[in-house]
């Protein structure tokens, strides 16, 4: 990945040198504004390409590039130049990685990331620099809460949105005393808190919170604890390779079929091929799923499968929508990404025609989402209905 980044960087610098040399020879006498129109829009992509969330980073990248290619590679008439960083889902490296894109490469817009802790590390750098940022996954509630800002957008979800509706689902299934199991980091803690908030409103009680450090996958001790507690349901938040391992371990521990398993949809998203029948019947809530059978989703799935020879998942959709949102902004200002105020205005009032269903942004720049109830059936996360219509994040603490 690093090699390609460096290559792209050298190509960019070579281009700049050539223009300067020609201009100096008096051949190219254009106004600076016209030159600016010709330069490529610099897109900094900060995503995980290694580790437990690697597949998520790839899907987001694929989706984003597809949206750009559907516009002939030139949204708003401007070509795109990519600067890519593998953030390894490592919060400790996040400020340095974000600075590479913002200060060194001087990108016009940052697309990233997956991990909530990494997003928190990016936020300080990006807020200070005022660079446009579209977050295509990381759910950290703060990003569209106390840290909300005119230059910060999300094309995905807040952690709160992904599990708040699950309390209602559990009540409908007759479960009142579940346990919650997750990684101990920002996203795990926030999805747990949102689930608990929804559950309490429905009269249920969370009887145990079970954590292991991110990105560990040694679930055995916690599964043994679950077997001894005997809750009426288990709710889990894991994603990527960690989710696949959890599903297999849950089955191997003999819990599948004994204690019903639920989760935010990340638990079963993008992993069904890998887990055999370990996920069969697991119900989850998420803002995307299989079998929506809409014109937009069918066209997207076909185009994605043709381009990448694989099926898209929610991460691909979020990347695609990040590309669509950026395109709305660029098209509104005819590619002049320096025209920040009208570009932001166009983006915040956009209606994104998404494979998940059309969405708009809240005042905190977070998508208002239909949350689907899904069930894992064979290799599909089949949409069974809408668990919550037009769920907006409460944006607690956002004063922008």
Query: Smallest distance from the beta carbon of 272 to ligand BEZ, in angstroms?
Result: 16
Residue 279 half-sphere exposure toward CB, CA atoms < 13 A: 30
Rank residues 165 and 187 by Cβ distance to ligand BEZ and give the closer one: 187
Query: Smallest distance from the beta carbon of 98 to ligand BEZ, in angstroms?
Result: 16
Rank residues 136 and 335 by Cβ distance to ligand BEZ and give the closer one: 136
Strands 369-377 and 380-391: antiparallel
* 222 CB neighbour count, 10 Å cutoff: 18
Q: Which two tokens stand for residue 188?
A: 């795990």
Residue carrying the six token digits 């949350």: 371
Query: Smallest distance from the beta carbon of 134 to ligand BEZ, in angstroms?
Result: 15
Rank residues 5 and 241 by Cβ distance to ligand BEZ and give the closer one: 241
Residues in contact with ligand BEZ by CB under 6 A are 114-116, 137-140, 159, 187, 239, 266
Rank residues 159 and 354 by Cβ distance to ligand BEZ and give the closer one: 159
Query: Smallest distance from the beta carbon of 137 to ligand BEZ, in angstroms?
Result: 6
Rank residues 140 and 148 by Cβ distance to ligand BEZ and give the closer one: 140
Q: For residues 213 and 101, what is the distance between their CA atoms, to the nearest angstrom?
A: 29
Query: Smallest distance from the beta carbon of 196 to ligand BEZ, in angstroms?
Result: 17
Query: Smallest distance from the beta carbon of 61 to ligand BEZ, in angstroms?
Result: 15
* DSSP string for residues in 326-393: HHHHHHHTTT-TT-HHHHHHHHHT-EE--TT--EEB-TTS-B-EEEEEEEEETTEEEEEEEEEEEEPP
| Per-residue buried b or exposed e for 259-285, using 16+ beta carbons within 10 Å of the residue's own CB | bbbbbbbbbbbbbbeebeebbbebbbb
Rank residues 42 and 115 by Cβ distance to ligand BEZ and give the closer one: 115
Rank residues 269 and 348 by Cβ distance to ligand BEZ and give the closer one: 269
Q: Which two tokens stand for residue 331?
A: 């098209």
Residues in the chain: 400
Query: Smallest distance from the beta carbon of 139 to ligand BEZ, in angstroms?
Result: 4
Handedness of CA 89, 94, 97, 101 (dihedral sign): positive
């Amino acid at each position: 990945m690093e090699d390609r980044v460096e290559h792209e960087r050298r190509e960019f610098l070579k281009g700049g040198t050539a223009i300067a040399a020609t201009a100096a020879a008096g051949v190219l006498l254009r106004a600076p504004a016209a030159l600016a129109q010709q330069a490529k829009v610099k897109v900094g992509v900060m995503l995980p390409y290694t580790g437990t969330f690697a597949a998520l980073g790839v899907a987001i990248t694929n989706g984003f590039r597809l949206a750009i290619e559907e516009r002939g590679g030139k949204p708003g008439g401007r070509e795109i130049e990519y600067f890519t960083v593998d953030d390894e889902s490592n919060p400790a490296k996040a400020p340095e990685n974000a600075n590479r894109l913002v200060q060194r490469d001087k990108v016009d817009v940052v697309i990233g990331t997956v991990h909530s802790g990494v997003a928190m590390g990016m936020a300080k750098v990006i807020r200070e620099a005022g660079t446009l940022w579209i977050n295509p996954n990381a759910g950290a509630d703060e990003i569209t809460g106390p840290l909300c800002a005119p230059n910060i957008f999300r094309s995905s979800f807040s952690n709160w949105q992904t599990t708040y509706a699950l309390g209602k689902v559990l009540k409908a299934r007759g479960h009142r005393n579940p346990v919650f199991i997750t990684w101990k980091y920002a996203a795990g803690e926030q999805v747990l808190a949102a689930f608990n908030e929804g559950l309490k409103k429905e009269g249920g009680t969370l009887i145990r919170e079970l954590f292991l450090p991110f990105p560990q996958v040694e679930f055995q001790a916690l599964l043994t604890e679950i077997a001894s507690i005997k809750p009426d349901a288990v709710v889990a938040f894991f994603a990527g390779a960690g989710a696949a391992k959890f599903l297999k371990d849950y089955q191997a521990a003999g819990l599948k079929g004994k204690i019903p398993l639920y989760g935010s949809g990340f638990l079963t998203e993008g992993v069904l091929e890998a887990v055999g029948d370990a996920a069969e019947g697991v119900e989850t809530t998420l803002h995307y799923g299989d079998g929506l059978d809409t014109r937009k989703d069918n066209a997207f799935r076909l185009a994605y499968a043709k381009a990448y020879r694989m099926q898209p998942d929610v991460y691909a959709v979020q990347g695609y929508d990040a590309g669509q949102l950026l395109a709305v902004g660029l098209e509104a200002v005819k590619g002049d990404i320096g025209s920040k105020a009208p570009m932001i205005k166009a983006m915040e009032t956009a209606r994104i025609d998404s494979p998940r269903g059309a969405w708009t942004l809240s005042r905190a720049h977070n998508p208002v989402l239909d949350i689907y109830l899904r069930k894992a059936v064979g290799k599909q996360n089949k949409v069974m209905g809408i668990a919550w219509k037009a769920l907006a994040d409460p944006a607690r603490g956002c004063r922008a």
